[in-house]
Amino acid sequence: GSDSSVLLSEDQFLCSICLDVFTDPVSTPCGHNFCMICIKTCWGDSQQCYCPLCKEKFTKRPELKVNTTLREVVDHFKKKSVLDKPEVLCDDCTGVKQKALKSCLDCGVNLCKSHLESHYTIPRFKNHKLINPVKNLEVYICQKHEKPLELFCRDDQTCVCQFCTEGDHKNHNTVSIEEESGQKKTQLGKTQAEVQQMIQNRLKKIKEIEHSVEIRKRNTEKEISDSVKVFTALMRSIERSQAELLELMEEKQKAAERQAEEFIKDLEQEITELKRRDTELEQLSHTEDPLHLLQIYPSLCRPPHTTNWTDISVDPHLSVETLRNTLCKLQKSLNEELIKTLNEKIRESVDVTLDPDTASPYLILSDDGKQVRRGDKKQSLSDNPKRFTYYCNVLGKEGFSSGRFYYEVQVRGKREWDLGVAKASVNRKGKITLCPKNGFWTVILRNGNEYRACADTPVSLSLRENLQKVGVFVDYKKGLVSFYDVEARSYIYSYTGQSFTEKLYPFFSPCANDGGKNSAPLIISPVSNTK
């Protein structure tokens, strides 16, 4: 809707007594308005009163009430006029200078309400050009003719005085500053609408990008699920590639999210700039300073520097074909590097000896601490906090809380076994489930040919040949536990991205004898180079 304060000039909000903007305006019976305190002071205690403006006499003193509608309009006008309006002081005051109410372009001075009175009462001053007070008064006066700049030359796009139109700007297309200012305000309104539309377009683009990221996230989760089907069709030696590929997919997702965050950050920055431009245009559309409007109009109406976002988006799709191609490359690389990797792991080999204080009473350890098998009877051993008493498990003597270590275990002739590492605080007295969340990182054999990695969700392992000797490698800092087929020189399985916070110990279980079918021992073997 229209704003009443925009349709009225500041003069219509001035009290004719104090020459300042109304405070608690009241109306006399003759229809004129004054500040409540001004009219009461003017009338004093007299019962017979008159209007200070039109001199109409009132036989009975009027009962004065605040004109609430006018007060609301005046308060709104005050808020508008206060925005970014610098305080200008009177040039004629001596001593403490009062706030200027008007600037006279003919006199070239800023005047407070008391010094301005002569411009309303003395005839020769009544035709002077008065404007709202400004600090830089000289820019409103023609430097050549020392006359008020009242006209705008459209040919030269500059403000001129009346004398300029008889000289350098003769026969030029000139209009009043007010007329040109009105047209510019209309154009500012159009520019403001364009800026506001640009803001809406960018808000819409943010929603599009966020939606694309969400779609991509769902597609990524679906493709990760589908990738499991692809992996099962490949040789077991590619298990490590699965972990690496999933990491790669997650990195791509994070990269897409980072890209989206950058897009959104740029869009929000542009929106902030456009909102600032919108505010400037809003304020300028209400300015009572036409010269200032014309001076900064060209810079404000130039389109702001922004990005064309029409064709910019985040790709929500992830290709399964890309997945397969990456797998093939990783498989080829894995086969080439496997022997080299095993030899590097061998350099990290440690001398592992079994710890009898942790061994289940059903286990029999060799004198050198390198072999363990399941006995037929429970031995009478002293119980201690370190000993496994429910399951037939045993740990290595030395624990590791940093660096890397590697050891090998012969499993030939066995139908069941458990191997890997365990953290120091695992449950040694009751039932346990082998999995990382319980502190175990293991690979196991059941029924002679069923190999499993005991992840939090168990993973079946398809091996071309039964294992004879297993290599176990740990990189504590990287959170990595890997298992290798030493004889076939191939990779079995890896736990990646683990977070280790306490000592890790080599972990062994020869499992039950199964009527003599599984009586062969687990043997910690000396490590030698792979050819």
pLDDT, tens digit, 9 for 90 and up, residues 429-474: 888 899 999 999 999 999 999 999 999 889 999 888 899 999 999 9
Stretch 282-295: mean pLDDT, rounded?
73
Q: Which amino acid is at 373?
A: R
Token reading at 218: 């769902």
Residue 350, SS3 per DSSP: coil
79-110 pLDDT per residue, tens: 776 654 568 899 899 888 888 888 888 888 88
Token reading at 312: 């910019």
- Whether residue 272 has pLDDT greater than 70: yes
What own/partner pairs with CB < 8 Å and gap ≥ 24 does 271-274 have? 271/199, 271/202, 271/203, 273/304, 273/306, 274/195, 274/196, 274/198, 274/199, 274/202, 274/304, 274/306
DSSP lists the bridge partners of residue 174 as: 153
- Whether residue 529 has pLDDT greater than 80: no
Token reading at 153: 């030359």
Domain at 10-81: CATH code: 3.30.40.10
Q: Which of 213-227, 307-321, 328-342, 368-382 has the lowest mean pLDDT?
A: 328-342
As a whole number of angstroms, the longest Cα–Cα distance in the chain is 131
Domain edges within the chain: 10-81, 180-301, 356-525
**How much is the pLDDT for 232?**
47
Q: Is this prediction's pTM over 0.85?
A: no
> What band does 326 get if pLDDT is binned at 50, 70 and 90?
low
Distances (CA, A) of 230 to 78, 226, 325, 508: 73, 7, 11, 33
**How much is the pLDDT for 341?**
55
Mean pLDDT of all residues belonging to the chain = 83
Stretch 10-22: mean pLDDT, rounded?
78
- Whether residue 284 has pLDDT greater than 60: yes
- Whether residue 175 has pLDDT greater than 70: yes
C-beta atoms surrounding 409 within 10 Å: 22
**How much is the pLDDT for 149?**
86
More confident residue, 284 or 191: 191
36-72 pLDDT per residue, tens: 888 888 888 877 888 888 888 888 888 889 998 888 8
- Whether residue 134 has pLDDT greater than 90: no
57-58 vs 49-50, strand pairing mode: antiparallel
**How much is the pLDDT for 520?**
94
480-485 vs 469-475, strand pairing mode: antiparallel
Q: Which helix (H) or strand (E) holds 322?
A: helix 320-346
Topology annotation, domain 356-525: Jelly Rolls (2.60.120)
**How much is the pLDDT for 238?**
55
